[in-house]
Amino acid sequence: MMNQTKVGGNKRKIANIVAMAGLIIIFIAYMFPFLMVVINSLKQKRDIIKSPFSWLFTIKGLSFDNFVKAFTQMDFLNAFKNSLIVTVSATVLVTILAAMLAYYIVRHNNAVSKATFALMVASMIIPFQAIMIPLVSIYGGTLNVLNHRITLIFMHTGFSMAMSVFMFHGFIKGNVPIALEEAACIDGCTHTRTFFQIVLPLLKPIISTMVILNALAFWNDFLLPSLVLTDKKLLTLPLSTYSFYGTYSADYGTIMAGLLLCVLPILILYVVLQKQIIGGVVAGAVK
């Protein structure tokens, strides 16, 4: 029995070591491009072209000039303001509206709510590329409302509603007891007051999850803002980084620095909310 236990223990240890080695390889594969961006952002253009995969200690021309140039050329403060306005507005709207709609669908088990939920889930499989041309044609040619931040916020909110409602629906159904709402109703609370004072505080884990997921999508989105915004004063950070590309060449060091400046704010938000994100995703998707 001892030999069998020892053999089983050795096999388990070997399996754990192999699994850990695989995870380390996957981690390195995912982090390698980001590491190359960080390293090349501190190099001069000639060093990037000559040896893009060389490490920092092999390069003598190490400097932070790329960050200064990127900050100035992409008009970072104005682009940051535009991205912040669009991201915060769209995230707040989609969070509140999706939570309210999901709550109604869960608590009203009728044909209308079932059909609404089914249509929203079905819409998740439609790729944005399939509707972007009609979208620009209608909003630009017919309604003439492109090149406005409000239009971009409206589109971000609409395209994110289906996934957000799906996540809120799963969380409310499995984690919000109806007994609390019945007790509030007995005490004289209206449906609106019950939702905002009783239900909404219980949704903090899934709210944190949806805030970071939607904020990441809105902040990093390039395709939709490129279709809606053309005025340089309204460009978001991803669009501003495109100014580093010339007709025949590109300043790669400045591009890398600009990308890091774009990623840094949302990366900080993710680090702050990472515990809530993991818990909310598991609770919302599984239950």
Which of 23, 40, 58 terminates a domain? The answer is: 58
pLDDT score recorded for residue 168: 93
> CA angle, corner 65, sides to 236 and 79, nearest 5?
10
Residues 52 and 73 in one domain: no
pLDDT score recorded for residue 284: 47
* CA-to-CA dists, residue 194 to 67, 185, 190, 204, angstroms: 49, 8, 6, 16
Q: What is the mean pLDDT of residues 258-269?
A: 84
Residues 17 and 129 in one domain: no
Residues 126 and 234 in one domain: yes
pTM of the model as a whole:
0.80
- Express as a percent the part of the chain with pLDDT over 70: 87
C-beta separation of 241 from 263 below 8 A: no
Residues 23 and 88 in one domain: no
In 10 A of CB 124, how many CB atoms? 10
Residues 72 and 185 in one domain: yes
pLDDT score recorded for residue 166: 93
pLDDT score recorded for residue 287: 46
Residues 105 and 199 in one domain: yes
Residues 19 and 126 in one domain: no
Residue 285 has pLDDT above 70, yes or no: no
Which of 58, 75, 103 terminates a domain? The answer is: 58
Res. 159 pLDDT band, cuts 50 70 90: very high
Closest CA to 191 of 178, 209, 207, 208: 178
Nearest-angstrom CA–CA distance, 38 and 56? 10
Name the least confident of 98-112, 137-151, 211-225: 137-151
Which has more pLDDT, 244 or 102?
A: 102
Nearest-angstrom CA–CA distance, 112 and 117? 9
Residues 139 and 246 in one domain: yes
Residues 132 and 9 in one domain: no
Residues 237 and 109 in one domain: yes
C-beta separation of 256 from 66 below 8 A: yes
Q: Any residues with CB less than 8 A from the CB of 85 and at least 6 apart, and which?
A: 149
For the chain, the average pLDDT equals: 83
The number of domains in the chain is 2
Residues 199 and 220 in one domain: yes
Nearest-angstrom CA–CA distance, 241 and 253? 12
Both tokens of 12, joined, read 């388990």
pLDDT score recorded for residue 95: 95
Q: What is the mean pLDDT of residues 133-158?
A: 86
Instruction: State which residues form the domain around 220.
Output: 65-286
The separation between the first and the last C-alpha atoms of the chain, rounded to the nearest angstrom, is 41
Residue keyed to tokens 């080695």:
21
Nearest-angstrom CA–CA distance, 54 and 169? 49
DSSP string, the chain: -HHHHHHHHHHHHHHHHHHHHHHHHHHHHHHHHHHHHHHHTTS-HHHHHH-TT--GGG-S---SHHHHHHHHHTTHHHHHHHHHHHHHHHHHHHHHHHHHHHHHHHH--SHHHHHHHHHHHHHTTS-GGGTHHHHHIIIIIIS---S-HHHHHHHHHHHHHHHHHHHHHHHHHHHS-HHHHHHHHHTT--HHHHIIIIIHHHTHHHHHHHHHHHHHHHHH--HHHHHH---GGG--HHHHGGGGB-SS-B-HHHHHHHHHHHHHHHHHHHHHHHHHHHHHHHHHHH-
pLDDT digits 0-9 by tens, 221-256: 998 998 898 888 899 998 888 877 765 567 788 888
CATH number, position 204: 1.10.3720.10
pLDDT digits 0-9 by tens, 51-63: 777 766 555 656 7
pLDDT digits 0-9 by tens, 189-218: 888 888 888 899 889 888 888 888 898 899
Residues 181 and 211 in one domain: yes
Q: What is the mean pLDDT of residues 254-280?
A: 78
